[in-house]
Amino acid sequence: MEPHFHPWIILFAPLVASAVILFLLPRRGVAAGIVAIGAAALACGLSWRLFLAGVTPVVAPLPWLDVPGLFSVPITLILDRLARVMLVLVTTISTVVFVYSGGYMRGDEGVPRYYAALSLFLFSMLGIVMAGNFVMMYIFWELVGVSSYILIGHYFRKDAAADAGKQAFLVNRVGDFGFMLGILMFWLATGSVAFSGIEQNISAVTLHPGYLTAAALLVFCGTLGKSAQMPLHVWLPNSMEGPTPVSSLLHAATMVAAGVYMLARIFPVLLAAPEAVRDVIMWIGAATCFAAGLMATQQDDIKRILAYSTISQLGYMVVAIAVAPAGDVAVFHLFTHAFFKCLLFLCAGSVIIALHHEQDIWKMGGLITRMPLTALCLVAGTLALVGMPGFSGYYSKDLIVAYAHGDNTAVFWITVGAALLTSFYMFRLFFVVFLGSPRSEAAGHARQSPAIMTLPLLLLAVPSIAAGYPFVARHFFDIPHHETPHIVHYALLGALVCGFLLASALYLRGPGRDPLRIPLFANRLYIDDFYAWLVTRVQGGLAIVSSWFDRWIIDGLVVTGAARTVWLAGYVLRLLQLGNLQAYAFFFGAGVLAVLCFLVFR
Amino acid sequence: MSPLLSLILIPLVTAAFCMAGSAPRRISLFGAGANLLLTLYLLASYNLEIGGYQFVGGRLLAPFYGLAFSLGADGLSMVMLLLTTLVTLAAVWVTPPINRYAGMFYACLLLISAGAIGAFVSTDLFFFYAFHELALVPTFLLIGIWGSGERQRIAWKVTIYLATGSFVLLLGLIGIWLAVPAGLRTLDMRILQQLGVAGILSPGPAVYLLLLAGFGSLIALFPLHSWAPEAYASAPAPAAMLHAGVLKKFGLYGLLRLAVPIFPEEIQQFAGLLLILLLGNIIYVGFVTIAQKRLDLMLGYSSVMHMGYAFLGLVALNQIGLAGMSLMIVAHGLTIAALFALCGEIGSRWGTLEFAKLGGLAAGAPKLGLLFGFAAMASIGLPGFLSFPSEVLIFFGAFAQGVTGGFNIYQTSVAFALWGVVISAIYMLRAYRRIFWGGRGVAAVDGVGDVSCAVRWAVILLLAALLVTGFRPALLLDYINPVFDYFAP
């Protein structure tokens, strides 16, 4: 088999698995799992092979949409270093989570549907990673959206899950609205939708800085939706209604990072754009990473804490796109974050399963003796996330904060503040869940989960610790050398310690309820409520007014009115049809007289 | 004689048998299936290298007027035939047991199909018009006899509305005919198109507006749309499938055939007007759709809304937009047919289409849920279905009329139309969530069973067509692209 054929196998193996499950195994849970895991493992193996080979294979494009001479969108695969790193990352984590799902979803009647959607997700995510042009990226962008919709709505009988799936899809569509408009603007100006073509012809747009700014920011709207940046972040915490492995793979490690990956992909275009573009991106990222951190401190649901943490970390990546001289800085954090956040979610999942689907941290407690392995892995993930030296998150986050320090002092202190919040809410989670005494019956009887679920935890713990070490990272990234000022180290370490001390002061003894009550944060800064108002009042109001107008004015007044007028005219004319000869003779005579009068007295 | 004649005759003869015979369902399935197979055969034997009108044949009837019964099909007609025969087969297939006059019912379906096919393969202006009129009669009967709700009032309303629209259209067609220089006077649409492209035939803005109003009311262009939702809600599902899926497309087909080659200047001159009207379809009707509380009305409005995209492709007036519009005709026809089929199934099984009374159906009817999910995704233009490439082409085609460095009326309209993509996701996902997900509604009783075998396979046929062409739009574009070659720069 020719090596350049491998990328197609990587891409389509999960799609084939999805179709096989849907059509051939709609009721066979175990077989569906085996097929899905097999396809993911195949894609993973080939991705590693491609990565280790270290060369960029050229793959012949497949024609897709063509209007000869005017418009052409082929399916082109890009396999540069960035894409190969992402391939390895996505397929590896996917394989681990696919296996873990086998344990987590045991006994669920919807397992085939679950694996079909999960495989569809993997296919779409790989499509985003290898997309060579904007339209192709948009295609797979939408497809990850729909697989996320199906997976969030897995427990579709639950109203909350059904609403969350719908909301996730719609919020992403709002982002994609801007994304597509930006793509159209770039196409009109440069005559190309391919990333390479746009980069080559970027000089055609730089003449119009306003246009370029608008186009770049509209494309960034895609990131706002997919990577849950403010103000489109609301869907991600709600997406936690899906099964935990889904939260782990889609809504923490891979899919939500697609927005950051897209920005890294078009990094040269962003560099050519006016400064204002990167300013907007930087401030949105900074606001997101801090505000999400605030919201995370007051959540009671173990998965929602992690979800806000994900939003916050995505904010760091977005800041990195704006302040760093290379996209690799953001992707480096994406890479380490994927491992440790996936690990954290899978730990949370094994806690949730052990407690029979209990997610409220105030009903846990004392689990460290009952689930030591899970606790250990969660500690490893936490230390990586808070940026403990020696753990992967330290290296990638430090780099971002260091670049922020060189670029904008205010943003530097915001990111340091967000690090403090991270440390606070993560240690709060650990203390409340694992220390103290059990606060519910289920927590008292919790057991360590089976090997199919603990093995993935251990597998992920290794890169969570080691993925950031320079001797590992240099095989994956081209990090520009940067002298980190001492103040960055001290500030971040200080933030970490402060967060830890604050959390231990409040939560170390495992209180029965939260001693800290800040309604503003607990209610997510009331942003969700504002959107609910917008949807029911504004959109619903507009819809009702339009509907009323359509029914009573357009159909009622105009159409029926016209019909009535015709009917009335007919009625009047019918009055004249008397069927009486004398009457007709009279009308005739009157008519003749009228014509004569007109002719004579004109 | 042209093989296209058999495409018209098969449904006509089948309809006659239906009215006389005793097994109308079997006969009509056979006729519709045979027509689909014949169409596939013709698609395969259409020579793409040569292009243009093929399978030509005809007979001169009235030399003085240039009236001839002449048939022929170019790439666009071929694609329309594929749509028509696919939807016809699906509509016949999903027809539930009919209590009264079953033979008549099937005959009416087949007559609509025959009328549509006749309109799509006629190259003579008179028969192009007459075949469409022929199809309006069975539509009237289907709503009036087998409809639901206030069927008689609605049947009259729709018929008068559409007949008035057709009459305005007729005035426009006469206008075109009168504008042909006396020596060349003909009803042959192929010659009319050539004259238009060559700039010899330009009947002027008044005729264009007549044409736009006439075709517009058949297509449900805002504000001439209010007949459509009621009609589709009242009509039996197979009739709604055929009308929304095929017959309504006659108007779009006519615009592509006549308005584009003959009135390019007028289309540009009145672009502002048309853009506002089509945004009325997309945005205003979109909001009306959101407000609907019943699935059948919602689907009716959504079908009106999607016509806005087709008009956007028209007003773009370049090969990209027109190709997109042609694909949209097929994509929307197949999608709305699948949705109406499933809607009919829900209505007949659970006895209501009100969102408030349904809910949680996916638990008891997973196959129905899956099929509806696929159809809903096709409707909101998810990649993988034909709807997506058609929307992409329309948006890019219309945006191509914009300017770099600024934002003109075309670009602004595309931005609004893109917002329509959000709107359609809102109402479709909401409907799906309310019908299939969440807790059980009062009408969502158990033991009703899953989707029936006939509806299942008919919808799978339509969805498979959408998926195959969505993955390989070239299958259709190879036929469509050469049709608009006269726009090549």
- Count CB atoms within 10 A of the CB of residue B86: 27
Contacts A–B by Cβ distance under 8 A: 151
The mean pLDDT of A26-33, rounded to a whole number, is 86
CA–CA separation, A91 and A303 (whole Å): 23
- How distant is the Cα of B18 from the closest Cα of chain A, in angstroms? 36
Write out chain A residues lying below 8 Å of B288, CB-based. Answer: 543, 546-547, 550
Return the pLDDT at A1.
Answer: 45
Q: What 3 state SS string does chain B have? A: CCHHHHHHHHHHHHHHHHHHCCCHHHHHHHHHHHHHHHHHHHHHHCCCCCCCCEEEEEEEEECCCCEEEEEEECHHHHHHHHHHHHHHHHHHHHCCCCCCCHHHHHHHHHHHHHHHHHHHHECEHHHHHHHHHHHHHHHHHHHHHHCCCCHHHHHHHHHHHHHHHHHHHHHHHHHHHHHCCHHHCCCEHHHHHHHHHHCCCCCCHHHHHHHHHHHHHHHCCCCCCCHHHHHHHHCCHHHHHHHHHHHCHHHHHHHHHHHHHHCHHHHHHCHHHHHHHHHHHHHHHHHHHHCCCEHHHHHHHHHHHHHHHHHHHHHHCCHHHHHHHHHHHHHHHHHHHHHHHHHHHHHHHHCCCECCCCCCHHHHCHHHHHHHHHHHHHHCCCCCCCHHHHHHHHHHHHHCCCCCCCCCHHHHHHHHHHHHHHHHHHHHHHHHHHHHCCCCCCCCCCCCCCCCHHHHHHHHHHHHHHHHHHHCCHHHHHHHHHHHHHHCC
Token pair in block for residue A208: 């119009």
Lowest mean pLDDT among A51-55, A202-206, A595-599: A595-599
Return the pLDDT at A204.
Answer: 83
CA–CA separation, B325 and B319 (whole Å): 10
Confidence of residue A3 (pLDDT cuts 50, 70, 90): low
B360: nearest CA partner in chain A? A157
Q: Among A66, A146, A555, select the one facing B226 at the smallest CB separation.
A: A555
Of chain A residues 41-80, which have a CB less than 8 A from chain B? 63-71, 73
Average pLDDT, chain A: 88
Model pLDDT for residues B261-303, shown as the tens digit of each residue: 999 999 999 999 999 999 999 999 999 999 899 999 999 999 9
CA–CA separation, B479 and B197 (whole Å): 20
Model pLDDT for residues B26-73, shown as the tens digit of each residue: 999 999 999 999 999 999 999 998 888 999 888 888 877 778 889 999
Model pLDDT for residues A129-149, shown as the tens digit of each residue: 999 999 999 999 999 999 999
**Could you tell me which of A207, A208, A188, A211 has the C-alpha nearest to residue A198?**
A188
CA–CA separation, A475 and B69 (whole Å): 74
Q: Which helix (H) or strand (E) holds A78?
A: none
Return the pLDDT at B21.
Answer: 77
Token pair in block for residue B14: 């089948």
| pLDDT reading at A260 higher than 90 | yes
Model pLDDT for residues A278-332, shown as the tens digit of each residue: 999 999 999 999 999 999 988 889 999 999 999 999 999 999 999 988 888 899 9
Write out chain B residues lying below 8 Å of A174, CB-based. Answer: 422
Q: Do A143 and B415 touch (CB under 8 A)?
A: no
Return the pLDDT at A435.
Answer: 86
- How distant is the Cα of B390 from the closest Cα of chain A, in angstroms? 10
Which is it for the CA torsion A8, A13, A19, A23, positive or negative?
positive
B426: nearest CA partner in chain A? A170
Q: Residues near B149 by Cβ (< 8 Å), separated by ≥ 6?
A: B233, B234
Of A187, A534, A535, A547, which to mutate for an interface test with B (greatest number of B Cβ within 10 Å)?
Answer: A547
Q: Do A173 and B421 touch (CB under 8 A)?
A: yes
- How distant is the Cα of B454 from the closest Cα of chain A, in angstroms? 18
Determine how β-strand B54-62 pairs with β-strand A71-75: unpaired
Q: Do A156 and B284 touch (CB under 8 A)?
A: no
Q: Which helix (H) or strand (E) holds A405?
A: helix A392-407
| pLDDT reading at A577 higher than 90 | no
Q: Do B320 and A70 touch (CB under 8 A)?
A: yes
Write out chain A residues lying below 8 Å of B382, CB-based. Answer: 142-143, 146
Q: Which helix (H) or strand (E) holds A447?
A: none
Q: Do the Cβ atoms of A398 and A492 come closer than 8 Å?
A: yes
Q: Please tell me which residue, B270 or A476, carries the higher pLDDT value.
A: B270
Q: Do A543 and B287 touch (CB under 8 A)?
A: yes
- How distant is the Cα of B430 from the closest Cα of chain A, in angstroms? 7
Determine what percent of chain B is predicted with pLDDT higher than 90.
Answer: 66
3-state secondary structure of A356: coil
Query: Phi and psi at residue A257, in whole multiples of 5°?
Result: -80, -10
Model pLDDT for residues B292-340, shown as the tens digit of each residue: 999 999 999 999 999 999 999 999 999 999 999 999 999 999 999 999 9
3-state secondary structure of A228: coil
Q: Do A157 and B439 touch (CB under 8 A)?
A: yes
**Could you tell me which of A255, A251, A397 has the C-alpha nearest to residue A320?**
A397
Query: Global pTM?
Result: 0.91
Q: Do the Cβ atoms of A399 and A479 come closer than 8 Å?
A: yes
CA–CA separation, B15 and B20 (whole Å): 9
Average pLDDT, chain B: 91
| pLDDT reading at A539 higher than 90 | no
Q: Do B422 and A205 touch (CB under 8 A)?
A: no
Token pair in block for residue A311: 């939003």
Return the pLDDT at B489.
Answer: 62
Q: Do A180 and B418 touch (CB under 8 A)?
A: yes
Confidence of residue A258 (pLDDT cuts 50, 70, 90): very high
Q: Residues near A587 by Cβ (< 8 Å), separated by ≥ 6?
A: A576
Of chain A residues 552-571, which have a CB less than 8 A from chain B? 554-555, 558-559, 563
B429: nearest CA partner in chain A? A166
Return the pLDDT at A562.
Answer: 78
**Could you tell me which of B271, B259, B313, B279 has the C-alpha nearest to residue B416?**
B279
- Count CB atoms within 10 A of the CB of residue A445: 12
Token pair in block for residue B81: 């035939």
Model pLDDT for residues B132-154, shown as the tens digit of each residue: 998 888 999 999 899 888 888 88
Q: Do B474 and A180 touch (CB under 8 A)?
A: no
B389: nearest CA partner in chain A? A65
Q: Do B288 and A550 touch (CB under 8 A)?
A: yes
Write out chain A residues lying below 8 Å of B383, CB-based. Answer: 138-140, 142-143
Partner B contacted by A140 (CB < 8 A): yes
Lowest mean pLDDT among A83-97, B302-316, B356-370: B356-370
Return the pLDDT at A602.
Answer: 66
Fill in the amino acid letter for B127: F
Partner B contacted by A497 (CB < 8 A): no
B480: nearest CA partner in chain A? A67
- How distant is the Cα of B315 from the closest Cα of chain A, in angstroms? 17
Q: Do A177 and B405 touch (CB under 8 A)?
A: no
| pLDDT reading at A349 higher than 80 | yes
